[in-house]
A and B are shown apart, each in its own frame.
Chain A
């Protein structure tokens, strides 16, 4: 099956899950990457290195800033020329809007935030979490092209092969000026929560000294090459920005390792991290519900346990 893969990026920086989508496409047959933006020729080359056989490149000032309207019209025009049966996207806030609008233009449907996928006679059967991850559904799209967005880290990321070549075909951009972007202020630098292999989160347990608590949490995250998360309680108290919130009203993460420090484990928090491979809980309260979902637990104070854990990992990972 010939699959198109939309390469999501921000100012030319690709979302790593774009490569996961490309890797999945390659298991189904030939893959065409779609690269839209301005000054993104380098990204088209990277897509070839990650396995794309062909790239459709729309490099145009009209696409300098992501606009769901302009990007939808650009993509929809390509679909009318040829007809892929499947278009894959990594799930981000941008691609959710792009795929949504595309489903209207193409009279098709979107399978969102997919964590498992099989293809039977050209028909995708996608598995995705529903009810905040409390249940799973298998779902299908009766129209073509089937639009599927993949949850970050749900599919393996292929290794790039440097210098791999392929055809880059330039395609026209469509403009849309209905929304004017005035400015942008960058969030914190560091590993993105959705793409992180390790997440260390702090909660209400830091309350006796929030600044120090999150400094310790960040230090452990840094030792493990991971990202910093937080419970809603910690965000509501103003200990840490909303961008770090994991849970129902924050971000959904699925790292290999999730360390919850001083987080009781409310159901709304669990719905944001329940798909983590290994969950470790550190909490003073032996009855905290978080222990019911954790593989490993320590009943203790995060202000002593987190730095001790940082030291232990520094030693074992040869970082001291």
Chain B
């Protein structure tokens, strides 16, 4: 069986983003594997022995997205596949889900598809559920802990109200949360192996797909209105007096 981990390349979370002529710019900040997806890779690597699986990292992106796949390989993934096609430049999340679903089917023998909770670029968090629906596989989302057995996956999910335990049979789609544990660092050997790895590139034609219609479109990209960032430091007097003055200021904002 294969565990397919779907990842994306995003600007680093430390990057300063600006909108320039309708396009996002992150200056010379690096592109990295989406931080949430590292948890998905970590979860897959933890589970591969339990079910005698191998781990395939899968990414849609331009040629530069190979670096995100190499990170997954360096962490310990067994193989990586890049889906790249000029016709995929304008993809919405449902379109991405249809392409990923077709790639997961082409990989064959995929019993599980792992995702991070969401990406830090568009941040829709829709894709795991959309892929599950396209494939007709059950969705186990927001998973922290999991036990994989031959016929069944048991998980603990973190939802707003608390923790839920649930199970489903293979094949299934999982979105993985922080509860899985901190992602491992790539080992020296892993980095060497990743450096030499051949990463096949699949086009839409390889997947037997037409370019999906873009239903959701970005009409405009904006810099958020500048915050009035002048901070008024309350000082002078005892802590009680400072607290009193601060409480006055907050009450004067008429927000309580």
Contacts and interface: CB of A to CB of B under 8 A. Distances in A.
Interface of A: 10, 68-69, 72, 92-94, 96-97, 99-101, 103-105, 107-113, 125, 129-143, 178-187, 192, 194, 197-198, 224, 242-243, 248-249, 256-257, 267-268, 271, 274, 277-278, 280-281, 291-300, 304-305, 308-309, 311-313, 316-317
A219 to B, nearest CB: 13
A224 B253 CA distance: 14
A130 B221 CA distance: 9
Nearest to A66: B159
A300 B167 CA distance: 49
A312 to B, nearest CB: 4
Interface in B81-110: 92-94, 97
A130 B256 contact: no
Interface in B159-173: 159-169
A278 B252 CA distance: 11
B130 A101 contact: yes
A129 B161 CA distance: 24
B161 A316 contact: no
B150 interface: no
A297 B247 contact: no
A304 to B, nearest CB: 5
B17 A297 contact: no
A87 to B, nearest CB: 14
A297 B178 contact: no
28 contacts: A100-B93, A100-B130, A101-B132, A101-B133, A103-B94, A103-B215, A109-B216, A132-B13, A132-B123, A135-B17, A135-B224, A136-B222, A137-B221, A142-B213, A178-B169, A179-B168, A180-B167, A182-B165, A183-B165, A197-B255, A295-B232, A296-B249, A298-B242, A300-B242, A305-B242, A308-B242, A312-B240, A312-B243
Q: For the complex, would chain B's binding face be called helix, strand, loop or mixed by DSSP majority?
A: mixed
Nearest to A125: B219
Interface in B15-29: 16-19, 24
B217 A130 contact: no
B160 A10 contact: yes
B251 interface: yes
| Among B158, B169, B255, residue most surrounded by chain A Cβ atoms (within 10 Å) | B255
Contacts of B165: 181-184
B233 interface: yes
| Among B97, B161, B166, B224, residue most surrounded by chain A Cβ atoms (within 10 Å) | B161
B34 to A, nearest CB: 11
Contacts of B232: 295-297
Interface string B201-242: 000000000000111111111111001110111110001101
A103 B124 CA distance: 13
B126 A135 contact: no
Contact of A110 (B126, B134, B154, B178): B126
B216 A110 contact: yes
B216 A292 contact: no
A85 to B, nearest CB: 14
B217 A140 contact: yes
A100 B133 contact: yes
A268 B124 CA distance: 17
Given A100-B130, A182-B166, A296-B231, A224 B11 contact: no
Given A134-B224, A185-B163, A312 B246 contact: yes
A110 B133 contact: no
A258 B55 CA distance: 42
B17 to A, nearest CB: 4
B43 interface: no
Given A96-B126, A97-B141, A134-B224, A184 B235 contact: no
A103 B255 contact: no
A137 B222 contact: yes
| Among A133, A274, A278, A298, residue most surrounded by chain B Cβ atoms (within 10 Å) | A298
Contact of B239 (A96, A134, A248, A305): A305
A139 B17 contact: no
A104 B130 contact: yes
Contacts of A242: 158, 178-179
A158 to B, nearest CB: 19
| Among A100, A104, A110, A309, residue most surrounded by chain B Cβ atoms (within 10 Å) | A100
B141 A93 contact: yes
Nearest to B221: A137
Contact of A297 (B11, B179, B224, B231): B231
A139 B250 contact: no
Contacts of A107: 215
Contacts of B228: 295
A239 B248 CA distance: 31
B126 A99 contact: yes
A293 B218 CA distance: 28
